Structure 1
Amino acid sequence: MNLIKCSVCILTFNSGKTLEKTLQNLKNFGEVVICDGGSTDQTLLLAKEYGCTIIAQDGKFKNKEGKIIDFSGVRNQCIEVAKYNWIFMLDSDEYFEEGLESEVRSVVSDYEIGCRVYNVPRKYIYKKKIVEHSPYYPRNYQVRFFARNVVDGYVKPIHEKIKIKQGCAVGLMRNPLYVPLSADVRSVIKKYNYYLSLEEERHKNEKSFGKWLKNTLYRTLRSTIGVSARYVKSLFCRGVKHPFRHFILDMLYNIKLIYITGKKFLFFMRKYK
């Protein structure tokens, strides 16, 4: 069978524990681009073993400790070096199964197809079991699969998203991408705290109370309330449920996000009360 003319792009940093399973499921793709942040484990050995294209994350997108501060920047690095027009963005612990691979092959090979950008549904995995009931279902999808010529790259340094050219339709894949949830609570807390520090830096020069009210407070509260309601509803369902600890950590993240991005407005109002 011919290789799929699509470049799968992956950011890595000491990802050896999960990367091999990810790469095993990508053998039928024409290219895998690894954008590495200076791994010291077996990550780069695995990438070479599987014939990946390897590039280093540009230092201008990282801080002095070598951590990424601009996720859009490093993802755009991948897009720039990719061999093919079709791109699939993947995290180093996520993986495909045959259904999604076949669907990607079909889209790439059909030049008459209407959409050039696709949302991909995500299914969570916890302790090697598929999470059947999550408060993020059924709208748990992201734009991960797209043609390079209809996008203008990624924007936003954190929680990055692809900028789609005007007039381009966005489709939805039928088969899911599998996303493991870490059982290591400490590592999740550490990651969330780092994301919050990036959000605080990004919003430090924000002076518009109305913009914060609409874009952060309203949207975050609406999401938090909706997810909480769906989580309670999922408790009455049979099957594997979204882990409670992850739900709580997500909700705490939202609360902290509102505080760190809006505290300057609260202090300002208190000062002139």
Structure 2
Amino acid sequence: MMSIACSVYIVTLNCAAWLEDTLNSVTDFAEVIILDSGSTDQTYAIAEKFANVRISHQDWQGYAAQKSLALAQCQFDWVLNLDGDEVLSEALKQEIITTIQADQIDALITPINDVFLAVPNSKHTKKHAKVRFFRKSRGQYDLENKVHENVLIDGTSVRALGDIYHYGESSIFIKVEKNNQYSNLKAAEKFQKGKQPSVLKLVLVMPVTFLKSYFIRRSCFNGWRGFVNSMINAFYAFLKEAKLFEQHLQTKNKQRNDR
């Protein structure tokens, strides 16, 4: 079978628990670029088992900047981004092949199926989606985003039908820990952009986010897992606003002490 004329790029840090499944899902792609930021697990040993994989080290630059550096190493104009805890579905792979052959659009907006506590989303749940497959010549990262990085496409994007499966949220502890880290970054990003904290948003953001996650995005179809996931999502939204207040308070205190 001929390889798919597409580069896959992945940034990793201690992703050995899922990486073999990730790489098995893209064995027939022409090349896989892994940019690792200092793994101490079996990430390198796993990567070196795959003939189409090239792994190298880069000190962590931030999510968008790190992915931009990995993207720059890709040799093909069609590129696919996966995280080290994600697996490409067979359905999405076939869509990618068809898209390359048709050569009519510039990107696929791909649904991300979060496998929370080892169970995928219900088919009735509304999945979030991102541009993950695109023409390298038509896409670039918004480097101002400190987390939840996104690719900006100069061209035509179409929503894909097939999923990318995300396995990283394998426990409540891991999800909460990630959200604590991400909320730090998002609060810092908002502060740097001059965003002012809002008492009204601080009060309302948690219940509003819960309702959006549980009912509008239909996590209610995921049983008790959906309820837990929606509560954590709501608390994450609250943390971002609370930490923006904290940033402003720390700045005022520093200015007062410097006088």
Q: Give the TM-score range, shorter chain.
A: 0.7 to 0.9
- Rounded to whole Å, the distance in 2 between the matches of 1:35 and 1:195 is 21
CA displacement at 1:241 relative to structure 2:
6.4
CA displacement at 1:40 relative to structure 2:
1.4
Change (3 A) 1:30 1:227: same
Task: Show the 5 A alignment for 1:85-164.
Answer: 85-111=77-103, 113=104, 115-132=105-122, 137-155=125-143, 156-164=145-153
- Rounded to whole Å, the distance in 2 between the matches of 1:254 and 1:204 is 15
CA displacement at 1:240 relative to structure 2:
6.0
Change (3 A) 1:101 1:133: closer
Alignment partner for residue 171 of structure 1, among 149, 153, 158? 158
- Secondary structure at 1:95's aligned position in 2? strand
- Secondary structure at 1:145's aligned position in 2? strand
Change (3 A) 1:185 1:122: same
Structure 1 counterpart of 2:212: 226
CA displacement at 1:35 relative to structure 2:
0.9
Structure 2 counterpart of 1:81: 73
Q: 2:110, 2:131 within 8 Å by CA — same for their partners in 1? A: yes
- Secondary structure at 1:22's aligned position in 2? helix
Amino acid aligned to 2:119 = K
Q: 2:214, 2:227 within 8 Å by CA — same for their partners in 1? A: no
- Secondary structure at 2:2's aligned position in 1? coil
Task: Show the 5 A alignment for 1:6-85.
Answer: 6-51=6-51, 52-59=53-60, 61=61, 70-85=62-77
Change (3 A) 1:262 1:164: farther
Aligned pairs, how many?
246
Q: 1:117, 1:145 within 8 Å by CA — same for their partners in 2? A: yes
- Secondary structure at 1:50's aligned position in 2? coil
Task: Show the 5 A alignment for 1:260-271.
Answer: 260-262=243-245
Q: 2:4, 2:97 within 8 Å by CA — same for their partners in 1? A: yes
What residue ranges of structure 1 are gaps of 5+ in the alignment? 62-69, 269-273
CA displacement at 1:48 relative to structure 2:
1.2
- Rounded to whole Å, the distance in 2 between the matches of 1:154 and 1:205 is 15
Q: TM-score, normalised by structure 2?
A: 0.82
- Secondary structure at 1:142's aligned position in 2? strand
CA displacement at 1:101 relative to structure 2:
1.0
- Secondary structure at 1:33's aligned position in 2? strand
- Secondary structure at 2:48's aligned position in 1? helix
- Secondary structure at 2:232's aligned position in 1? helix
Change (3 A) 1:259 1:16: same
Amino acid aligned to 1:151 = G
Q: 1:118, 1:146 within 8 Å by CA — same for their partners in 2? A: yes
- Rounded to whole Å, the distance in 2 between the matches of 1:158 and 1:267 is 22
CA displacement at 1:84 relative to structure 2:
0.8
Q: 1:179-236 CA deviation, whole Å, 9 max, x = no partner?
A: 2253422222222111122223323344454xx66xx87x9676554224337x654x
CA displacement at 1:44 relative to structure 2:
0.6
Q: 1:85, 1:147 within 8 Å by CA — same for their partners in 2? A: yes
- Rounded to whole Å, the distance in 2 between the matches of 1:23 and 1:170 is 26
- Rounded to whole Å, the distance in 2 between the matches of 1:226 and 1:127 is 21
Task: Show the 5 A alignment for 1:187-206.
Answer: 187-206=174-193
Q: 1:121, 1:174 within 8 Å by CA — same for their partners in 2? A: yes
Over aligned residues, Cα RMSD in angstroms?
2.9
Q: 1:133, 1:241 within 8 Å by CA — same for their partners in 2? A: no
What residue ranges of structure 2 are gaps of 5+ in the alignment? 252-259
- Rounded to whole Å, the distance in 1 between the matches of 2:34 and 2:131 is 19
Change (3 A) 1:107 1:241: farther
